């Protein structure tokens, strides 16, 4: 323990710029949908007391804030890196998590492409280990990057031996 105090550096790569677009589109869509619902309610109500608007503000302000700031914030925080020895990611925006799993302990490598992700040409890679707490997801990857990373990961993990516990 005589080593000097150390910190983790940032993972090397950022997510795809299209991921930021996707987060923004989703956040704006959520905001718009909520506005529509609230407007419909306001129209249908017989009377509109002052506190209704307060309640609306309480609901809408955080959603608007998320739509404005979240994509940029996430873009700065979300990062990933795959070395020959390990997977390292940083994610989250309210709670940030830096996750590291050595590739010798990796059990499965999954790719996921949801409907919206496909629209933006994105993929997510999930790497699981023998621990339920150890799964690592790299989100917002370009599809070709994802394909290359998966190939790399499967090649390295196939070479390691033992049951990874």
Nearer to other proteins, 47 or 165 (CB): 165
Minimum CB separation from other proteins for residue 88, in Å?
5
Q: Is 123 helix (H, G, I), strand (E, B) or coil?
A: strand
Residue in 68, 59, 60 with CA at minimum distance from that of residue 23? 68
Nearer to other proteins, 17 or 102 (CB): 102
Going by the DSSP 8-state scheme, the letter that residue 162 receives in this structure is S
Q: Contact residues for other proteins (CB under 8 A)?
A: 1, 3-9, 11, 73, 76-77, 81, 83, 85-86, 88, 90, 92, 94-102, 105, 129-134, 136, 163-165
Torsion of CA 64, 69, 71, 73, to 10 degrees: -150
Nearest distance from C-beta of residue 74 to other proteins, angstroms? 11
CB of 54 to other proteins, least distance (A): 17
Please classify residue 82 by burial: count the beta carbons closer than 10 Å to its beta carbon, then call 0-12 exposed, 13-18 middle and 19+ buried.
buried
């Amino acid at each position: 323990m005589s080593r000097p105090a150390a910190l983790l550096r940032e993972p090397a790569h950022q997510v795809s710029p299209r991921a930021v677009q996707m987060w923004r589109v989703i956040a704006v869509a959520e905001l718009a949908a909520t506005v529509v619902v609230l407007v419909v309610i306001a129209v249908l109500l017989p009377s509109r007391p002052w506190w209704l608007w307060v309640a609306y503000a309480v609901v809408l302000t955080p959603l608007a804030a998320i739509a404005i700031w979240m994509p940029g914030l996430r873009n700065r925080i979300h990062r990933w890196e795959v070395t020959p020895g390990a997977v390292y990611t940083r994610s989250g925006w309210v709670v940030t998590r830096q996750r590291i799993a050595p590739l010798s302990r990796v059990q499965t490598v999954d790719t996921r492409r949801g409907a919206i992700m496909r629209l933006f040409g994105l993929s997510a890679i999930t790497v699981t280990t023998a621990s339920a707490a150890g799964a690592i997801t790299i989100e917002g990857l370009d599809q070709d990057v994802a394909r290359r990373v998966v190939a790399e990961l499967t090649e390295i993990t196939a070479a390691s031996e033992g049951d990874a516990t």
